[in-house]
Structure 1
Amino acid sequence: MISKRILSFFAAVCLSIGITTATPPDEGMWLPLLLKQLNETDMQKKGMKLSAEDIYSINQSSLKDAIVSFGGFCTGEMISPEGLLLTNHHCGYGQIQQHSSVENDYLTNGFWAKTKAEEKPNPGLTATFIVRMEDVTQQILEGTANAKTEAERESIIQRNMAKVRRESTAGTHYDAVIKPYFYGNEYYMYITETFRDVRLVGAPPSSIGKFGGDTDNWMWPRHTGDFSLFRVYAGPNNEPAEYSPNNKPYKPKHHLPISLSGVQENDFTLVFGFPGRTNEYLTSQAVQEVYAVSNPHKINIRETKLNILDKDMKASDAVRIQYAAKYASIANAWKKWIGESRGIRKANAIEKKQELEKQFANWAAADPARKAKYGNLLAEFETNYKALDGITISRDYITEAAYGVEIIRFANTFVKLQEMLEANAPQNEINAQVEKLEKTVAPFYKDYNAPTDKKVFAALLDLYYKNIDAKMHPAAFATVRSKYKGDFNKYADEVFAKSAFTSEAGVRKALADVKAGKKDALKNDPALQLASSITDYYNKNVMPTYTKVNDNLNLLYRTYMAGLREMQSDKKFYPDANSTLRVAYGKVEPYEPVDGVKYLYYTTLEGIIEKAESGAAEDYAIPARLKELYEKKDYGRYGVNGELPVAFIASNHTTGGNSGSPVINANGQLIGTNFDRNWEGTMSDIVYNPDQVRNISVDVRYMLFIIDKFAGAGHLVEEMTLVTDDTSGLPQVDARRKQQSSEEPSKKNKKKKDKAAAVAN
């Protein structure tokens, strides 16, 4: 039975099957380096008062100097001259969880450091700034014209990339990242500076930071205070350093001033961040595969797992804390895929792709040179996607169902060790592998509950067994079929009774035995045997075809992109997101999910109270303190006409990785933090529907209210640069630069140093 938590959002489905007439928003995730030539004029026509140079510059401080890649999976922004970093609550959730225990439950109660000494270190967490970016297409493609195969071409590219990275960062503490764009037609390099001392400063309780939970995830209207605060620390000379109590708060080149003036309908908005992955230029066959094959099965697998976790988390606080971040991650993609599939259908995405392909075929056939270059392209796409029949679904079940079982996924990391033991590798090499594995044991078992995983094991492997043709089963399934008559509950009983991987003590003993020279310490472990069987099948029967076909498809898409850009030469193309810095822009505006229904562009605290009092979902519980402030209307300077703004929507094109991205107004001031998309617009990773796509942001005034009035952490607000005059435009940004310059006496010298390094490189 599906849990109430999972079912609760389906009531909204009937509200999203119509067509709206909202003003089309701006599609695209644009490269900051190219804003001047591609977007500046359009952005200014839409109300922006900045220049492209104010957004991205290597000669002076600009907005890009306030933007960080937070941990490599989200975005954050500098909001004070003392390294204070703002991102989403769900981006910092893993760190909040790691610091939580039953005794100190920061997930439930929130956390606010009263002094810098109370801020909590987070080993492994990073904040990466972009120093500059550069078009390196010519250098990277040098010598590839004579390559006889794709493998040879890729080998040349990798050598060229290594050379360019090495030469670009020699003598500096910077790193270089080079990524392909338009399927390898272009290459851009990002010079980066990564800080490794990032400390937790503050987070609201989950009843605010995750208000609405899975019920409201991907939904609008939204009332979630999805934010958390961290601080970036630096060593001597304000440069990156490993954690040390002697490190000082980082002095950013730029921090975002915060506007208290709020947003109005049709206001210009800009989202600056690191969107993760989109596939806007897929062919109709690829979209059909996502819609009809991959998504339905992945949704079912994750829903099954979520039901099990949900029940066990409700029964135990310890399990709830262990699995909180895992549950959120699983549920996020699960619900997104549901919305994505609906959006694909609603936008007639497959039919529109087919129409574009028809136009492409006619265009190619109209010219002999084009026909020779592009004439067979669509037929080759068809052939290659047919070759993936059975392969994609097998891969999905292995990655989602088999590796969705924690004991299998963890045991799989020991397969290499077992292979070394069977090959009688030298003991010193075996011991080195054991030492690597020993470092992973404690982190894994800190958040592992074997009884819960046993239930997941039986349920997910049963799905794998029943929903995939037997000819695509790993060898271990034959044992389940013959010995247990396909009963995975009985199979789970044996595995979890006999495997060392059910406990930290068991694994540590096995590793100690291996170090002592016992070659058969893991030989008969049933979890390791199963993991090895699944991985063996994957490596021999799935990956060879999957890799070969995708290599073919990469070449086809590279050619297809070149052809589309040639055919539509008057169109401005943006590259798919690939976790590199991008700018999206649009306007604050409502939308209509169905005929006769129009959603406002903002929500208020009133809506939180209404949901909390409705009793409709457990996700709507709120802290007593928040209700008290509401009843007193004690909003301070953050309220407007007796109301407290909470969230708003705009037409910016965003995706995963944009979580935590600043939403910036026409004057370069922070007005909100992006944290989600509306459910009707989740298909925007594949196809853009201008009538439906909206990004959802928490209003900065609600964040300040929570920090100041709710948490009593006004000392953090005092660090920030609050602005009430939004009419001053660009001079406001210039004035703030002067202020920063006076606050940071060494700024000019550092700028000269950075500029000299840029010139030298």
Structure 2
Amino acid sequence: MNLKLAGALAAAALTLPASALADEGMWTFDAFPAARVEQSLGVRIDQKWLDRIQAASVRLTSGCSASLVSPDGLVLTNHHCVVDCAQNLSSGGSDYVKNSFLARIRAEERTCPGVQAEILLSITDVSADIAKATSGLSGDDFNKARNAAYSRLESEGCGKDPQTRCQVISFYRGGQHKLYRYRKYSDVRLVFAPEISAAFFGGDPDNFNFPRYALDVSFLRLYENGKAVRTPQHLTWKARAPLPGEATFVSGNPSSTDRLLTVAQLETQRDLILPIGQLQRAELRGRLIEFSRRDAESRRIATDSLFGVENSFKALFGQQSALNSPSLMDAKRVEEAELRARVAADPALATRIGDPWSEISALQKVTADQFLRYRQLEAASGGNSELFDYAQILVRAARERTLPSSERLPAFADARLPL
């Protein structure tokens, strides 16, 4: 999926009374299973509540989730979501990552370079438009037609309004396509970020544990035309802790669960993609640690990059361990066999979709042949260097902008260029 982040509701940042039943799920704002949640948890979620949570949920350009928590544009998020801003505002004489940042008055709030915030306004199902545009096509022709439809729908959805941004997002590996329309804010200012020793207490070994005894919190504020944005729809502070058995909802922008990967794709992840990536992350981690030992300024420079590498290494180490578990892979094989049997039992369905599992399995050889080249020249090119990333975007943008918007890579269509 090209984007899985926008406006998804894993749940919303407040608590509601409920029966003591365990449940979990992840839903988009326009497809919340209210009846099932009420039946299983005893909590009634109506459209008014969903609309308020959607209006109070913020997405940062980093992909981080955040929430509006005051009527004056104050935004609450995690510390790691602002550490790059604090790093960019720092210098050798003022290290806001190490020593914290606090604006005591509005005039002291400082603009975060390159940071943009977005609030989801609406979701429109455009699956029929994409299906019509790509009907009967495959390969490059399919991709070009889909991208052209994306560009057209995004341009039509937002027009020339500089305060909005539109984006078509693919769900279920292309089974659905929805147009997300955002209100965007380009002036985002840092209000508070604690010292990293408090925000990251326990360090790398303690990260991802729960409960974690750290002040992993920071505040930003949205501005427009030099003034703090009025945000009547916001979440409010509740001083008491959640009670045992109380339904808890968190709104945010999660990434894909990868639940739709076939066994063949999981084996490629296990045997090729994850091992190569982890080997390189381990090497980069070691180099960053050595660089940070040179002096205080080197340690300051390396802090943000080291944090990101260590986070990724731990998350993907867990994935790698799971995929090396025979019990998990055996369970996935059983599930896949059951699904294939259900398809085979429906001749009309089997005729319509063919045998995608065999096709995907055959494509794994192509993946193996191209993966390392693709990783080194595209996916992980530049070794996490922001400057390399900027250079790559600028060079690619110059080339893409010589083409009509409908023929460009989706990220460089006219509707997306302001981002």
Which one of the candidate residues 104, 109, 124 is aligned to 2:114? 124
State how far apart, in whole Å, the 2-side matches of 1:396 and 1:143 are.
Answer: 31
CA distance in 2, matches of 1:168, 1:415: 26
Counterpart for residue 153 of structure 2:
164
Residue matched to 1:94: 84
Deviations 1:379-425 (A, max 9, x none): 222211123234324444556887328599589859979xxxxxxxx
Residue deviations 1:705-731 (CA, integer Å, cap 9, x gap): xxxxxxxxxxxxxxxxxxxxxxxxxxx
Q: Which amino acid aligns with 1:168?
A: G
Q: Which moved more, 1:176-185 or 1:43-52?
A: 43-52
Q: Which residue of 1 aligns with 2:345?
A: 366
C-alpha separation in 2, matches of 1:403 and 1:25: 42
Name the % identity. 23
Answer yes or no: is 1:191 the counterpart of 2:188: no
Aligned residue in 2 for 1:618: none
Q: Say if 2:199 is the partner of 1:220.
A: no
In the TM superposition, 1:517-528 aligns within 5 A as: none
Per the alignment, residue 301 of structure 1 pairs with 280
Change beyond 3 A, Cα 1:144–1:409: closer
CA distance, structure 1, for counterparts of residue 153 and residue 249 of structure 2: 32
Show structure 2 runs of 5+ residues with no match: 1-20, 400-419
Query: Is 1:233–1:250's contact at 8 Å kept on the other side of the alignment?
Result: yes
What SS class does the counterpart of residue 315 from structure 1 fall into?
A: coil
Structure 2 letter corresponding to 1:279: D
Q: Secondary structure at the match of 1:190?
A: strand
Cα offsets for 1:520-562 (capped at 9, x unmatched)? xxxxxxxxxxxxxxxxxxxxxxxxxxxxxxxxxxxxxxxxxxx
The answer as to whether partners of 1:84 and 1:230 remain within 8 angstroms in 2 is: yes
Match of residue 244 from structure 2: 265
For the residue of structure 2 that corresponds to 1:392, the secondary structure is helix
Over 3 Å counting, the alpha-carbon distance change for 1:405 and 1:118 in structure 2 is closer
Structure 1: how far apart are the matches of 2:125 and 2:263?
Answer: 31
2:31 aligned residue: 34
Report 1:490-569 matches (<5 A).
none
TM-score normalised by L of structure 1: 0.46
Cα deviation, 1:316-356, whole Å, max 9, x if unaligned, reads 11111112111111111111111111233458332222112
CA RMSD for the aligned pairs?
2.9
- Taking structure 1 as reference, are residues 414 and 300 closer, same or farther at Cα in structure 2, changes over 3 Å only? same
> Is 2:76–2:217's contact at 8 Å kept on the other side of the alignment?
yes
Name the CA distance, whole Å, in 1 between partners of 2:313 and 2:356: 34
Local SS of the residue matching 2:284: helix
Matches within 5 A, 1:564-643: none
Q: Which has the larger radius of gyration?
A: 1
Q: Measure the CA separation in 2 of the matches of 1:195 and 1:415.
A: 22
CA distance in 2 between counterparts of 1:399 and 1:131 reads 33
**Cα pair distance change 1:253/1:171, threshold 3 Å:** farther
Q: Which amino acid aligns with 1:30?
A: W
> Which residue identity is paired with 1:391?
Q
SS in 2 for 1:256: coil
1:150 and 2:139 equivalent? yes
Contact 1:75 1:273 in 2 (8 A): yes
Runs of 4+ in structure 1 over 4 Å off: 46-50, 397-402, 405-417
Normalising by structure 2, report the TM-score.
Answer: 0.82
Please report how far the alpha carbon of residue 201 of structure 1 lies from its aligned counterpart in structure 2 after TM superposition. Answer: 0.4
SS in structure 2 at match of 1:403: helix
Q: Report the AA paired with residue 26 of structure 2.
A: M
Q: 1:312 to 1:153 in 2, by over 3 A?
A: closer
Q: What pairs up with 1:208-287 in 2 under 5 angstroms?
A: 208-235=198-225, 247-287=226-266
Check the 8 A contact 1:365/1:375 in 2, yes or no.
no
Mapped contact 1:121–1:198 kept (Cα < 8 A): yes
CA displacement at 1:33 relative to structure 2? 0.9
Q: Distance between the aligned counterparts of 1:98 and 1:76, measured in 2?
A: 20
1:573 maps to what in 2?
none
Residue 299 of structure 1: how far off its partner (Å): 1.5
What's 1:313 paired with? 292
Aligned to 1:329: 308
8 Å contact kept, 1:128–1:195: yes
Q: Which runs of 5+ in 1 are unaligned?
A: 1-22, 236-246, 418-431, 434-761
- Alpha carbons of 1:229 and 1:144: their partners in 2 closer, same or farther (altered >3 Å)? same
Query: 2:291–2:302: 8 Å Cα contact kept in structure 1?
Result: no
Deviation at 1:116, TM superposition (A): 0.3
Q: Is the 8 A contact 1:195 1:232 kept in 2?
A: yes
What does residue range 358-397 of structure 1 map to in structure 2 within 5 Å? 358-396=337-375
Give distance in 2, aligned partners of 1:416 and 1:328. 29
Q: How does 1:21-60 map to 2 (within 5 A)?
A: 25-26=23-24, 28-35=25-32, 39-47=33-41, 49-57=43-51
Cα deviation for residue 48 of structure 1 reads: 6.3
Counterpart of 2:412 in structure 1 is none
Q: Distance in 1 between matches of 2:294 and 2:391?
A: 29
**Counterparts of 2:146 and 2:370, CA distance in 1:** 28
**What letter is aligned with 1:52?**
D
Distance 1:132 1:397, change over 3 A: closer
Q: Name the amino acid aligned to 2:248.
A: T
